[in-house]
Chain A
Amino acid sequence: MNEFVETILSLQWQDPKPTYDVVIVGGGGHGLSAAYHLAARHGITNVAVLEANYIGSGNSGRNTTIIRSNYGIPESVRFYQHSVDLYNQLETETGCWIMHATKGLMWLVHTETGMRAERARSLVNTACGTETVMISPEEAKALCPQLDLSGGGRYPVRGGSYHPGGATARHDRVVWAYAQGAMQRGVHVHQHTPVIDLLRDGDRVTGVITPNGPISAGMVMSAVGGKVTQLAAMAGVRLPVRTHPLQAFVTNGYAQGLGPIVSSTELLTYVSQTARGQLLMGAEFEPQPTYSMQTSFQTLANVSSKVAYLLPFTRNLRVLRQWTGICDVSADFSPIMGGTGVDGFCITTGWGTWGFKAIPAGGEQMAQYIATGDTPPLIAPFALSRFAADHPMADQGSTGTR
């Protein structure tokens, strides 16, 4: 955390205790949201959040901040819609300004196959209580006048789906809002405290080992992004997760303003405008798994050329910054939440490229799981045991990235 951040937040840093009721590994959005909900909803405040770097330094600080619920299967639509609802009231609830802005999300389609998929999506969404409507190319143009409907002659727009609930928020402010809310209620957050091993008693997980010594806990929750396979292996848990890098970049400011979030499921790009006016563009994740966070010129060239077909004005913009996050992509492209089959160890992972939008609901539901010991119905379909039961939540087409 830098000095500026500390001036706008009221964070109380504490010394680590040897024992906590709950230790959450990973001080990103999901970990801090779970800690916040444990304290605020369930009165469990003897909680520590351990972060290897500074809070929000992982994928919470690298994502493209899109909040939406236009998923393709009912279980996902209900879960993400709940998360969108929680985001809408987050500023009121925490008293922190997270720069939340509902601006609508447009998924453009260039083929007849894609139109069928979007029609199916809008029907599933409508049936599950999320608003997604089909739009014609003319309606898309009316929503975003900068669009080139001919797609530069190469990717003509045949139509698309429009999700009015699509929103963006400032990613690190979401992390800070939950950190502040949790710490004001007595939760300890320890930065620069990596977990190097887990304490185990037989099969049971009884705590964590950090470079500063062991910390025992009644429940250890993994909210790790990136190295989650290694952490789960310490508890003897194997995961259906591969870690792929995903790159994104921002341009300089665009004064005229871009209305909705524009994306194309077939070109695998998405563009939104940040509160500063910069255009934030994301790509698909790279096909080979790696923990390396290097960026590549190929991705930059590939994504920016595709965006320039749809939004020709972007040709005059300059790229300011490019970065990479490493995403835990699950085998069925849906998250994994809840128990692991190992006593004292629960997990929230498999967040791939769809973790930011789920921060409020994911944390709330995991807190409920830890507090009550029962898996809440909203996340029961996303249990790790679904793979052994041969019931994957396959929803690759809704990730927007592949």
Chain B
Amino acid sequence: MLTIACPNCGERGVDEYRFGGELPTVPDSVTDPGERNVDYLWFFDNVAGPSTERWFHDGGCRRWFTVQRDTLSDRIIGDRIING
């Protein structure tokens, strides 16, 4: 099972956390403001590899933080919290 080191509570299993989504990036090729909004709302990068994403420690300190996760192996990359 995926384990995540919460900056406040330490290493816990993924069932304590809620996935908050990857930090969305809209490609530069999308220039129309309306289209950018549609992309932001509906579309996903769905990265295969390192993905920077938000997690919420639902079953612990109930705080948001940002980590990098490898979506190919479903493991957190490094122990560095990018943004507490």
Binding site for B on A (CB under 8 A): 227, 229-230, 236, 238-243, 245, 287-292, 294, 296-298, 331, 387-388, 390, 392
Contact = CB atoms under 8 A, between A and B. Distances in A.
Nearest to B38: A388
Contacts of B46: 229, 239, 241-243, 289
B15 interface: yes
B43 A240 contact: yes
A229 B43 CA distance: 10
Interface in B51-78: 69, 71-74
Contacts of A291: 48, 71-72
Contacts of A245: 74
A86 B1 CA distance: 40
16 contacts: A239-B43, A240-B42, A241-B44, A245-B74, A287-B19, A288-B19, A288-B69, A289-B46, A291-B48, A292-B72, A292-B73, A292-B74, A294-B74, A331-B42, A387-B41, A387-B42
B43 to A, nearest CB: 5
What are the nearest 4 A-B pairs in CB distance?
A292-B74, A229-B46, A290-B74, A288-B19
B13 interface: yes
A238 B71 contact: no
B51 to A, nearest CB: 8
Interface in B1-44: 1-2, 13-15, 18-19, 27, 29, 35, 38-39, 41-44
B15 A239 contact: no
Nearest to A298: B1
Contacts of A239: 43-44, 46
B34 to A, nearest CB: 8
Contacts of A297: 1
A28 B48 CA distance: 21
A296 B3 CA distance: 12
Contacts of B48: 227, 229-230, 291
A383 to B, nearest CB: 13
Query: In the complex, which of the residues A243, A245, A288 has the most CB atoms of chain B within 10 Å of its own CB atom?
Result: A288
A296 B38 contact: no
Contacts of A236: 29
Given A238-B27, A388-B38, A292 B44 contact: no
Contact of A387 (B19, B38, B71): B38
A366 B33 CA distance: 32
Nearest to B44: A242
A318 B35 CA distance: 52
